[in-house]
C-alpha cells in the first residue's frame, strides 16, 4: 500500500515526470531529501518503473492507428508472435483469452503500409482490423487508490 503522501507524489509525477525534486517537495509539503527517499522507495518497490517521454506518432508521419485482433492458425502461435515482435510499427501487443490470441496496436503512414504489414501474416493468422478514429482516453495508469476517508462521496439515490 501507499500512503497519501506517496499518492500525491505519484499524481505530481504523472502530471510532469520532469519536475525537480525541490518543486515536487514543495507540492507535497516535504523536504527535498524526504521526497527523494520516497521516490527511491517507490522505485525499489516497483511502483515507479521508469520515467519516460511521450512521442506523437503523427509528428513522425504516422497518420493512421489501427487495432488488430490476431488469431494464429494452428501451429503458428510462436511464428506470429515473433512477426509481431519484429515489426516496428506494432507499438503494443496483448496476449489475450477468447477467440483471438493477440490484440495489437500499430501506427502506419498509410492504408497501403497497413496492408503490406498484414499481408506478411495473412498466411499464418486470421486478422480483424479497426482503424482508430480518435482516442478519448490516452493510455493512462489505473487510478491511484485513495484512503476511504478521501474517496469520492457515494452517489445519492
Question: What pLDDT score does 2 carry?
Answer: 86
Cell (9 digits) for 37: 527517499
Question: What pLDDT score does 144 carry?
Answer: 65
Displacement of CA 63 from its chain's centroid (Å):
19
Spell out the domains of the chain, with CATH numbers in brackets: 4-52 (1.10.10.10), 57-131 (3.30.70.920)
Per-10-residue mean pLDDT of the chain, 157 residues long, equals 91 91 95 96 94 89 97 97 96 95 97 97 97 90 58 43
- Whether the CB-CB separation of 13 and 25 falls below 8 Å is answered with no
Question: What pLDDT score does 141 carry?
Answer: 77
List, as own/partner pairs, every contact residues 72-80 make where C-beta atoms lie below 8 angstroms and the sequence separation is at least 24, other chains included: 72/101, 72/102, 72/124, 72/125, 73/124, 73/125, 73/126, 76/124, 76/125, 77/101, 79/124, 80/121, 80/124, 80/125
- Residues sharing a CB contact under 8 Å with residue 9, sequence separation 6 or more, in sequence order: 24, 28, 35, 38, 39, 42
Question: What pLDDT score does 1 carry?
Answer: 80
Question: What pLDDT score does 64 carry?
Answer: 97
**For the CA atoms of the chain, what is the radius of gyration?**
21
Question: What pLDDT score does 88 carry?
Answer: 93
Cell (9 digits) for 148: 476511504
Amino acid at each position: 500500500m501507499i500512503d497519501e503522501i506517496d499518492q500525491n507524489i505519484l499524481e505530481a509525477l504523472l502530471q510532469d515526470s520532469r519536475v525537480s525534486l525541490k518543486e515536487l517537495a514543495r507540492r507535497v509539503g516535504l523536504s527535498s531529501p524526504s521526497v527523494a527517499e520516497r521516490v527511491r522507495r517507490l522505485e525499489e518497490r516497483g511502483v515507479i518503473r521508469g520515467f519516460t517521454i511521450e512521442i506523437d506518432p503523427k509528428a513522425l508521419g504516422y497518420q493512421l492507428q489501427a487495432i488488430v485482433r490476431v488469431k494464429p492458425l494452428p501451429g503458428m502461435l510462436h511464428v506470429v508472435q515473433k512477426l509481431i515482435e519484429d515489426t516496428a510499427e506494432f507499438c503494443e501487443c496483448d496476449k489475450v483469452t477468447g477467440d483471438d490470441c493477440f490484440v495489437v496496436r500499430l501506427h502506419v503512414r498509410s492504408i497501403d503500409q497497413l496492408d503490406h504489414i498484414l499481408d506478411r501474416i495473412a498466411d499464418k493468422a486470421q486478422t480483424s482490423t479497426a482503424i482508430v478514429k480518435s482516442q478519448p482516453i490516452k493510455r493512462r495508469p489505473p487510478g491511484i487508490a485513495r484512503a476511504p476517508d478521501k474517496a469520492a462521496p457515494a452517489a445519492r439515490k
